[in-house]
Amino acid sequence: MTDTATPGRRTVIFDLDGTLADTSGDLIAAANACFISLGHGEVLDPSQDQLTAFHGARAMLRLGFSRLNGGDVDEADVNREFPNLLDAYEADIDRHTHLYPGAMDAVARLHASDYAVGICTNKSEGLARLLLSRLGILDRFTSLIGADTLPTRKPDPAPFVAAAHGAGGDPTRALLVGDTETDRLTARAAGVPCILVGFGPEGPGVARLAPEAMLDHFDDLDAVVARLIG
């Protein structure tokens, strides 16, 4: 990684979960491991609860306990199981996870066209680094900013700006590729365009967030990026 920014260098920053990779299967499996250890079996469904998985560990635990308790959730239960979920996830982080079609080909084309390329995620940096390593793609991104890299996380713009600088790019000539309202708000706060993917957990419904562009397949990323930042 480099801390030296090239003034004016075009920059593309990616979210990770739900944007580059579908990680929901392993996230839900980790949550279910907690409920199984409590004697409840698999409370969450990998298909039905995919969107909740991308809202984080605590969201999955709250959903599961809500189902078990008739809608009631005790935050003490959530807090108790939170570290257990993270341990289960770290131990089996890439069993079901897969990259979305064309993702890494698109990243390779951006590099070939001299774009700076990095990642800004609300996954902890350690888990993000582990996952990218297991997927064999860590070295394809020049920067990686996680939820705990800085004192703030998305939608605060600081992690995005740090990711752009860390990639050797210019955060004023950059954009964010994501899949959620958090990514949309981050881009808005940073004053940059946002591309939201229509193949993520919410599907084409994310168009309701009025991003500067929607992406139906990574094959189309080059043209969209060129239109937005040159």
15 catalytic, yes or no? yes
The letter for the amino acid at 21 is: A
Token pair 């250890």: residue = 37
Phi, psi at residue 87, to the nearest 5°?
-65, -45
Nearest to 46 by CA among 62, 31, 68, 65: 31
Q: Are 35 and 43 in contact (CB under 8 A)?
A: yes
Active-site entry in 15, 49, 77, 170: 15
Q: Are 190 and 176 in contact (CB under 8 A)?
A: yes
The letter for the amino acid at 117 is: V
What is the signed CA dihedral for 76, 146, 55, 43, rounded to 10 degrees? -60
List beta partners, residue 72: none
Q: Are 22 and 98 in contact (CB under 8 A)?
A: yes
Residues annotated as catalytic (active site), given as ranges = 15
